[in-house]
Amino acid sequence: MAALGPLSRTARLGCNLCRKHRLVFNRNLQRRGIASCIDPSYGLSEEQKEFQKVAFDFAANEMAPHMAEWDQKEIFPVETMRKAAQLGFGGIYVQPEVGGSGLSRLDTSIIFEALSTGCVSTTAYISIHNMCAWMIDTFGNNEQRERFCPDLCSMEKFASYCLTEPGSGSDAASLLTSARLKGDHYILNGSKAFISGGGDTDVYVVMCRTGGKGPKGISCLVVEKGTPGLSFGKKEKKVGWNSQPTRAVIFEDCAVPVTNRLGAEGQGFNIAMKGLNGGRINIASCSLGAAHASVLLARDHLLVRKQFGETLANNQFLQFKLAEMATKLVASRLLVREAATALQQSRADAVSLCSMAKLFVTDECFNICNQALQMHGGYGYLKDYAVQQFVRDIRVHQILEGRCIFSFLCSRSQFDLSAYVFNLLPQEPTR
């Protein structure tokens, strides 16, 4: 398939979606000036605004009305995600020749931010799925790409990323899951913890040890559901992210064909880290969507809630707080988009910017959502109000995808971020 041009790419992302439906969070856009000053479309190209509008419309019409039910009943919304895939959201930055949309990292961030206004938990899973599809597209051979990517991009099949283990979280290079070569198969033994989609998904991108200690002994295998020796732990009960199941993934003499290895032996840690560079931007983008929605929910509540004879919107302290929230949201968005651009351009500062964005934005956006809940008072603690779910769903963003900025990037296998930052500082002249 030829690369998609601007018009056909826009069409692929579903711009024929009925335009009369407007995002619920954009009602009364100019009210009190808050919505206009945090407008996420500022600075975007016309094509990007189209992608964004499609995502906002989908979030408002297909996700937001079901967000609370998916959370309370722990529903994995397969059919809704397949509808999202019909708009091109199943493989946003996967190449078009294997079914992807072929968009940039910045386009991807814009889309995930918009989708998260409808349901953070579901969007976060879609982002992980996209990361897995990209890893296969980027590091797989043509046979692997053609075998796995089309079904992943259409979301006929779903993917999970398997790096974390019970004894290795931030210290990913110490993972113990082993893959012993026997003939034309690897015999896989070990377990992975906290796997999004575990048990309900079809494809598992697994980091395992095929060599000695350290990152150079790690390889990457694609394990398909139904492979003998593959099993799953109990479904975890979580504070948030309840529309996606989380389970341990267990391998007991699980025979995986050598043809399912991505890249060469020993390349797995590098593949995992490159996947996480984009994953950090994706998760930060999901946090942006939650924060954007929460600012507008707080604004609307302040405009209708009365205390001491007048609306809370007339309280100067709360006006200042809302202004601070808006400021932090815009600053966070700028950092994420700069990191996405740097990654797309393979700039030297891309890895550090991705980590900075993850570190800063997930903290600031959680604080924004938490402050929005506080502004709701007791109502914010009720499940009838969406703000509490945004708080619960994005709390985990501060933990996953490499919470500690130094844990991955200051390892000998990558580079010393502290030295990188130190080199940016003015130096005293040598005497």
| Phi, psi torsion values for 410, nearest 5 degrees | -95, 10
For 87, counting Cβ atoms within 10 Å of its Cβ (0-12 exposed, 13-18 middle, 19+ buried), the class is buried
Q: Enter the tokens of residue 129.
A: 């799925």
Does the annotation mark 401 as catalytic? yes
Is the Cα torsion angle 121, 122, 127, 131 positive or negative in sign?
Answer: positive
Q: Strand 203-209 vs strand 159-162: parallel, antiparallel, or unpaired?
A: parallel
DSSP state of 91: S
For 52, counting Cβ atoms within 10 Å of its Cβ (0-12 exposed, 13-18 middle, 19+ buried), the class is buried
The whole-angstrom separation of Cα 215 and Cα 218 is 6
CB 326 within 8 A of CB 252: no
Alpha carbon of residue 107 to chain centroid = 13
* Residue among 128, 13, 115, 26 nearest 67 (CA): 115
Helices (H), 249-267: none
Catalytic residue among 146, 310, 401, 428: 401
CB 386 within 8 A of CB 114: no
Amino acid of residue 52? Q
Active site positions, annotated: 401
